[in-house]
Structure 1
Amino acid sequence: MADLAVAPASHPPPAPAPATDLFGEPIEAHPPWFKPDSFLRADFDPDAYVAELRSYVPLESLAAELRAHLAALRAELVGLINRDYADFVGLSARLKGVDAAAARMRAPLADLRDKVAGFRAGASAALAALRAGLEQRAAATAARELLELLLDTSHVVSKVEKLIKELPSAPSDSSNAEVPSIDAQNVEAGTGVRETQSILLERIASEMNRLKFYISHAQNLPFIENMEKRAQGATKLLDGSLERCFVDGLEHRDAKVIYNCLRAYAAIDNTSSAEELFRTTVVSPLIQKIVPQNYAKAVAGASSDGLEDDYEQIKQCVEKDCKFILEISSSENSGLHVFDFLGNSILKEVLSAIQKGKPGAFSPGKPREFLKNYKASLGFLDFLEGYCQSKSAVTKFRSEPAYTDFMRQWNVGVYFSLRFQEIAGGLDSTLTNTISPVGMNEAQGKPLLLKQSIKLLESLQACWSDEVLVFSHCDKFLRLSLQLISRYTAWLSSGLSARKASDGSPNSPADAEWALSIPIDDFIYIMHDVHAVIGELSESGSFIGHVNQLLASCPIEVLNLVKQSILQAVEPLEEVLPVIMNVMIGIIVKKSNEDLKHLKGITATYRMTNKLPVRHSPYVSGILHPLKVFLEGERVSYLSEDDKTKLCRGSTDKITAIYYDLVSEVVTVARKTESSLQRLRQGAQRRVGASTDASDNIISDTDKICMQLFLDIQEYARNLRTIGIDAREIDSYRALWQCVAPKDKQENIQF
């Protein structure tokens, strides 16, 4: 403080007046972002303060402001010291006697500290003694509990051995004998010996359960290790006695004895022994009577690999001879739900019997028999699940190893592969053959005419027939159906493309050869069948309805997806229809071209002659002859009226267009030839000085050719009218009329 002291002043200096701006307002000494009051807060954190300001204030500006603030604080401190300087100097003088007062206060405080230390030492010693006592008590308690456990173990072992010794003295038959005195007070009067034995066995099983609990909690002790041999011997005697009593109860259908024995098995956690005893004692003899175990004998006899009749007999046996124990094990509040006689006894024995007696029943090599056996097996499993009391029981039954092993025997994947080869291979072999329509008598009343189309629908129906379909693999059968439709469409498209190209080269696909040489009448069958197949597979057809009916248990979203997939598979088939129409039109047009080629002979007929045309040419009647023959054929009845109209319109349009091209070429060539000859003729006449006026009234060869062609196209128009086509509606015919008609008839087409 000495360095801050300044010379004393009689009067404190006046406080400086705050600076003001031009308008008299005080000027802030610090910028707005610098808040000196922040340093006075109790939770002030310099690091957080600097980190907050550095995001928008340069560190140099912040350091300068802090230095200015420090200087202001120093100045303020000096001012305060100068203002109260007299008090500041006299402070040390007023502190006399403080040391003595502090010494007087220090004595009682030291005494208090010593007392507190002594009390703390005493408390620590008492706490340590208390903890030692508690540890000794815990050790004694643990030792006592261990001793009690050992005594209880010894007592239970002795008790079990004593109870087991009482068992052989009781008769094993059904005669009424006196109940051993040890259990007389616990058995109701008049209870049979068999029931008494079962009650006694249940009690022994309960004690054995206690014994196992004691041994598990006192392992690695010499006493317990010595007891284990006695416990194992008692367990062996208990298992044998319980087995005899349980088998005796099964033979006599004694529900109380069976109930008590099952409770005993459940108590010792040995449910598998009870299930195995029931399988070998009751189920196995019944199943062996139904399913012969000697396979050679079964093959030699009348027995086959069919399982439907066997399952019916097994169901009757289960209903008659096994239902009693199923009802006992599923009774409410019995604690016997841990037993699974359905899977581990009945189903396990059935599987073993089929594997030994009828192993061929699981073979998918015979698809028809395999599917019958598989569906019969699923029905048998449904029958067994009917004895389950709840969904959880059904889930437990399906999770049993016996159920899993049984389902693993049915290789449905191999079955589908065989069916795939059968169905897809059958269609493929049919498609590779030539077009083979059914007979006219056979076709009456049938929607399809070609064997290939019939085979397609038969294959699709086979995929979803009861004799083929496996519901668990319906997705694969749906994919097979879509593949069949695609294969049929590809077969049509390949053949039509090859026929349209008309090359017949070796590069053509093998399945396209059928379309290279067939007559046009067969394409009528193809057009008819494609329409019929599309109608059958459309949304209004019966195929989608049949599939949705089979999949009715599926969600509506799945049904919609199935329907959409089938409709999408049909879309490429719909695109084939215009191609078929174009192929038929192309065949007709090609035949008509053979007659149109005779048109070029008109030029030679009327060149350098005085002959004038008087009637149409003979070739005109043959232009539309192929189309007329087609329309008058018997098979054209299989075409719809719309297809007939499209065929006539498309054929006549193309024929007329070709007709126009040929006529235009003939007229053009004739005019060029006539112009060349006329120039030569005029040049010769000028050389000889002859007059050229004599040739002005002579009809030229081009005019005679045009006159003949005009007569021809009029006859052609009349022929078009006979098949229902108005020539004036054809653009190429109007161009043809303009090409050859006289000037006075250019605007009015009459024929």
Structure 2
Amino acid sequence: MAMDLFGEAIDAHPPWLNPPTFLSNSFDPQHYISDLRSFVPLESLRWELKSHLSSLKVELIDLINRDYSDFVSLSTKLVDVEGSVVRMRAPLLEIKEMILGFREALQDSLLSLENRLDQRTQANRAREVLEILLDTFHVVSKVEKLIKELPSVPVDWSNGHMSIKKDSQLSNGINFQHGENGTNLRETQSMLLERIASEMNRLKFYITLAKDMPFIENMERRIQSASLLLDTSLGHCLGDALDHRDESAIYNCLRAYAAIDNTKSAEEIFRSTVVRPLIQKVIPSSSSGGMNEASEDELELDYKVIKRYIEDDCKFLLEISSKENSGLHVFSFLANSILKEVLFAIQKRKPGAFSSGRPTKFLKNYKSSLEFLTHLEGYCTSRSAVARFRAEDVYIEFMRQWNVGVYFKLRFQEIAGALDSALVVATLEPILNTPSDNTQGLILQQSLSLMQCLRSCWKDDILVVSCSDKFLRLTLQLLARYSNWLSTGLAARKTGDSGVSQGCEWAISASPDDLIYIVHDLNSLVIEVTGTYLGDVIELLKSCPKEVIDLVKASILEGGNSLKDALPPVINSIVDTLVVKSVEDLKHMKGITATYRMTNKPLPVRHSPYVTGVLRPLKVFVEGDRATNYLPSDTRDQLVHRAATEITDRYHELAADLVSVARRTESSLLKIRKGAQRRTGTSTDVSDNNVSDTDKICMQLFLDIQEYARNLSLLGVEAADIPAYRSLWQCVAPPDRQSKISY
């Protein structure tokens, strides 16, 4: 190979082409090319690869030429290949036949084994069924035998003890040699029944496993007979134990009922044996003649007596059934015995107690019933027991009897109707004799009716806590109704149309002094609703979550703000009325023009008579007894400033218009006179001492606004602070008085 000056091969590959990497197992052509193409042109790469391929072919030929003799001799050594294949085929076929034969034998053995396993499984199943049937037969026989023992026990139910011979023993193994120790016969009877019940429970399990089998169907009559006898015996035993309050016997009987999953029967026996006679004493079938119909439907006294009976005659059983780890928690004597009987008695003998047509009586009975349920829940030993009690069908049915929705509708009509009746009157009605419940000092009957209705929503003898959301909505509706009454009336007053809506007549006929009552009542209502009233409502709902309390508080505060928002329109209405009355006297200003136009009167030296009457309506209003006693000082000052500003605005408009007309008229007359002078060739003064009629008019107006400013100062208003007065001063004041306002 040719070498260069430095001893390297001339045809050596460039540094970026590394042929050994092609032999790596992880070599990726795509990745290799993508890496090289960033700095090597594709043409150069292709040329180098072709060059490398050529060198590989040359190297391969060199290798073949070097070992050519071995390569040629390779084919000459392959002699008689087909014969070798034939010799190898015979033993391979023999092995194949042996394997097929072994496979068939193995499959036959496997099939035989599977058949035998199936037979064995069927035999095991048959044996299990047979064992179940035998066990069922033995249990049925045992139950029948034990039941037959029950009548053989000598019973003396008069004293609840047995009297038998010494060392006597039943065939079931229970020994009766306890007679001399005073063993209670009911306890022994209950123990035997409990054992029978456990066997019956076992029997039910076997029947479930072997159902629909002819053997079981043939024994069905015996099983039913045994079950009936057990139920009857258990009923008698439990009833007698309840009569004698035999706790041991009761406990055993209840365990027996729990074992056969027949809790309803035990609950019904307790209901009929103990609860029903007690309830019949409290709520008899026929009412006594001395009681009226209203008192007959009252439940409060009945509940008190029933609670005392429960404590004296039912508590012992409730304690037995609630013992820890007794397994008797499946019974619900509170619901299915006590509450069920109470509900039945009320429905049959006092159906009027559930009637919401008499709201007061209904609410009293409803609250008494809730308190009674709370008393019953006190016998529950845990929260889970309370939850189970409330989930009982009887409890749900009892609560369903109280139609609080209808009750709320009646209360809604009663409360909302009272406010509507007060708001539809044609005039505002001041309260002559202050009611005892008018703690807010309200003046109008309409406002007092609103406060009374608001209070009624949360009275103890009206409110139903479960309907608090509805009563809150009614509260907000009452506030909105009162605000709407005000806004609608003031709108009708502004337009002068009393036919806009019924109940707006009061606003048309109301004087500014009457509206003072509204301002006073609105201030009082806002203070009361957002203060004491809100606090009372929050106190009633203190048991609710904080989120609910916050929503209630925000809602009532918003209702109070709606009353506060009604204040500005009322004040505006007062101001508008006073301004209208004051502007009537300003109409006399037009007489100034007639007084000084085309006359020889001298300059005026005193104000016009009409000025004293301009602010008279405002002064009479402010100094009146109602404004003094019922308007807050800040509201009174605000009202005076607003009225003074608007009256001054009208004053400026009329005066500016009067001066403008006078000047235009004087300018026209001056032109006419000058034309006449040119025609006649004479010259005369426009007026005496060069004082024009317009100057006299402006001087009169100037004297008038000075007196007007003095009258404003008597009301506590600085005329110079009113922009319209400053403009008026600039309009009528002499040139030498323009810079400073003084009066």
**TM-score normalised according to structure 2 size:** 0.88
Q: Is the 8 Å Cα contact of residues 271 and 337 (structure 2) preserved in structure 1?
A: yes
* Structure 2 counterpart of 1:177: 163
- Residue 728 (structure 1) aligned to one of 720, 724, 734: 720
- Residue 584 (structure 2) aligned to one of 583, 594, 605: 594
Give the residue type in structure 2 aligned to 1:568.
E
CA distance in 1, matches of 2:716, 2:129: 115
* Structure 1 counterpart of 2:491: 497
Instruction: Report the CA distance shift for 1:445/1:36 in structure 2 as closer, same or farther (over 3 A).
Output: same
- Residue 564 (structure 1) aligned to one of 554, 571, 594: 554
Equivalent residues in 2 for 1:517-536, closer than 5 Å: 517-536=509-528
* Structure 2 counterpart of 1:189: 178
* Structure 2 counterpart of 1:160: 143
Q: CA deviation at 1:105?
A: 7.0
- Residue 455 (structure 1) aligned to one of 406, 424, 449: 449
Give the residue type in structure 2 aligned to 1:224.
I
**SS in structure 1 of the partner of residue 689 of structure 2:** coil
Equivalent residues in 2 for 1:398-417, closer than 5 Å: 398-417=390-409
Give the residue type in structure 2 aligned to 1:160.
V
* Structure 1 counterpart of 2:617: 626
Q: Is the 8 Å Cα contact of residues 298 and 353 (structure 2) preserved in structure 1?
A: yes
Q: Is the 8 Å Cα contact of residues 528 and 638 (structure 1) preserved in structure 2?
A: yes
* Structure 2 counterpart of 1:13: none
* Structure 2 counterpart of 1:3: none
Give the residue type in structure 2 aligned to 1:523.
L
Instruction: Report the CA distance shift for 1:171/1:405 in structure 2 as closer, same or farther (over 3 A).
Output: farther
Equivalent residues in 2 for 1:271-670, closer than 5 Å: 271-294=263-286, 303-439=295-431, 442=434, 446-501=440-495, 503-504=496-497, 506=499, 508-538=500-530, 541-612=531-602, 613-636=604-627, 637-670=629-662
Q: Is the 8 Å Cα contact of residues 493 and 507 (structure 2) preserved in structure 1?
A: yes
Instruction: Report the CA distance shift for 1:428/1:303 in structure 2 as closer, same or farther (over 3 A).
Output: closer
- Residue 132 (structure 1) aligned to one of 115, 120, 132: 115
Give the residue type in structure 2 aligned to 1:729.
D
CA distance in 2, matches of 1:76, 1:464: 111
* Structure 2 counterpart of 1:9: none
Q: Is the 8 Å Cα contact of residues 367 and 418 (structure 1) preserved in structure 2?
A: yes
Q: Is the 8 Å Cα contact of residues 435 and 452 (structure 1) preserved in structure 2?
A: no
Q: CA deviation at 1:407?
A: 0.5
Q: CA deviation at 1:153?
A: 1.3
Give the residue type in structure 1 aligned to 2:565.
E
Worse overlay, 579-588 or 445-454: 445-454
* Structure 2 counterpart of 1:7: none
Q: CA deviation at 1:447?
A: 2.9
Q: Is the 8 Å Cα contact of residues 291 and 310 (structure 1) preserved in structure 2?
A: yes
Instruction: Report the CA distance shift for 1:19/1:347 in structure 2 as closer, same or farther (over 3 A).
Output: farther
**SS in structure 1 of the partner of residue 212 of structure 2:** coil
**SS in structure 1 of the partner of residue 640 of structure 2:** helix
**TM-score normalised according to structure 1 size:** 0.87
Q: CA deviation at 1:746?
A: 1.3
Equivalent residues in 2 for 1:113-124, closer than 5 Å: 123-124=106-107
CA distance in 2, matches of 1:699, 1:325: 118
Q: CA deviation at 1:27?
A: 6.1
Unmatched tracts of structure 1, length 5 or more: 1-16, 30-34
Instruction: Report the CA distance shift for 1:345/1:268 in structure 2 as closer, same or farther (over 3 A).
Output: same
Give the residue type in structure 2 aligned to 1:625.
R
Instruction: Report the CA distance shift for 1:27/1:169 in structure 2 as closer, same or farther (over 3 A).
Output: closer
Q: CA deviation at 1:150?
A: 1.4
CA distance in 2, matches of 1:602, 1:337: 104
Equivalent residues in 2 for 1:110-259, closer than 5 Å: 123-172=106-155, 173=157, 174-178=160-164, 181-183=170-172, 185-186=174-175, 189-190=178-179, 191-259=183-251
Instruction: Report the CA distance shift for 1:303/1:524 in structure 2 as closer, same or farther (over 3 A).
Output: closer
Q: CA deviation at 1:26?
A: 6.0
Worse overlay, 686-695 or 248-257: 686-695
Worse overlay, 216-225 or 413-422: 216-225
Q: CA deviation at 1:222?
A: 1.6
Q: Is the 8 Å Cα contact of residues 541 and 549 (structure 2) preserved in structure 1?
A: yes
Q: CA deviation at 1:353?
A: 0.4
* Structure 1 counterpart of 2:4: none
Worse overlay, 158-167 or 77-86: 77-86
Q: Is the 8 Å Cα contact of residues 498 and 508 (structure 2) preserved in structure 1?
A: no
* Structure 1 counterpart of 2:5: none
Query: Are 1:700 and 2:692 counterparts?
Result: yes
Q: CA deviation at 1:206?
A: 1.3
Q: Is the 8 Å Cα contact of residues 294 and 356 (structure 1) preserved in structure 2?
A: no
Instruction: Report the CA distance shift for 1:187/1:536 in structure 2 as closer, same or farther (over 3 A).
Output: farther
Unmatched tracts of structure 2, length 5 or more: 1-8
Query: Are 1:671 and 2:663 counterparts?
Result: yes
Instruction: Report the CA distance shift for 1:81/1:449 in structure 2 as closer, same or farther (over 3 A).
Output: farther
Instruction: Report the CA distance shift for 1:147/1:639 in structure 2 as closer, same or farther (over 3 A).
Output: same
CA distance in 2, matches of 1:242, 1:193: 14
CA distance in 2, matches of 1:696, 1:300: 103
CA distance in 2, matches of 1:25, 1:195: 108
CA distance in 1, matches of 2:685, 2:428: 72
Q: Is the 8 Å Cα contact of residues 686 and 692 (structure 2) preserved in structure 1?
A: no
Instruction: Report the CA distance shift for 1:37/1:559 in structure 2 as closer, same or farther (over 3 A).
Output: farther
Give the residue type in structure 1 aligned to 2:365.
N
Instruction: Report the CA distance shift for 1:680/1:465 in structure 2 as closer, same or farther (over 3 A).
Output: same
Q: Is the 8 Å Cα contact of residues 368 and 468 (structure 1) preserved in structure 2?
A: yes
Q: CA RMSD, aligned part only?
A: 3.4
Instruction: Report the CA distance shift for 1:668/1:301 in structure 2 as closer, same or farther (over 3 A).
Output: closer
- Residue 91 (structure 1) aligned to one of 66, 74, 80: 74
Instruction: Report the CA distance shift for 1:187/1:216 in structure 2 as closer, same or farther (over 3 A).
Output: farther
CA distance in 1, matches of 2:411, 2:209: 61
Q: CA deviation at 1:460?
A: 1.4
Q: Is the 8 Å Cα contact of residues 187 and 248 (structure 2) preserved in structure 1?
A: yes
Q: Figure out how many residues of one structure are paired with residues of the other and give that number.
A: 711
Instruction: Report the CA distance shift for 1:531/1:182 in structure 2 as closer, same or farther (over 3 A).
Output: same
CA distance in 2, matches of 1:301, 1:445: 38
Worse overlay, 72-81 or 137-146: 72-81
Q: Is the 8 Å Cα contact of residues 519 and 570 (structure 2) preserved in structure 1?
A: yes
Worse overlay, 187-196 or 480-489: 187-196
Q: CA deviation at 1:436?
A: 3.3
Q: Deviations over 1:213-240 (max 9, x none)?
A: 1122112222111111111111111111
Q: Deviations over 1:453-477 (max 9, x none)?
A: 1111211111111111111111111
Instruction: Report the CA distance shift for 1:299/1:445 in structure 2 as closer, same or farther (over 3 A).
Output: closer
Q: Is the 8 Å Cα contact of residues 712 and 719 (structure 2) preserved in structure 1?
A: yes
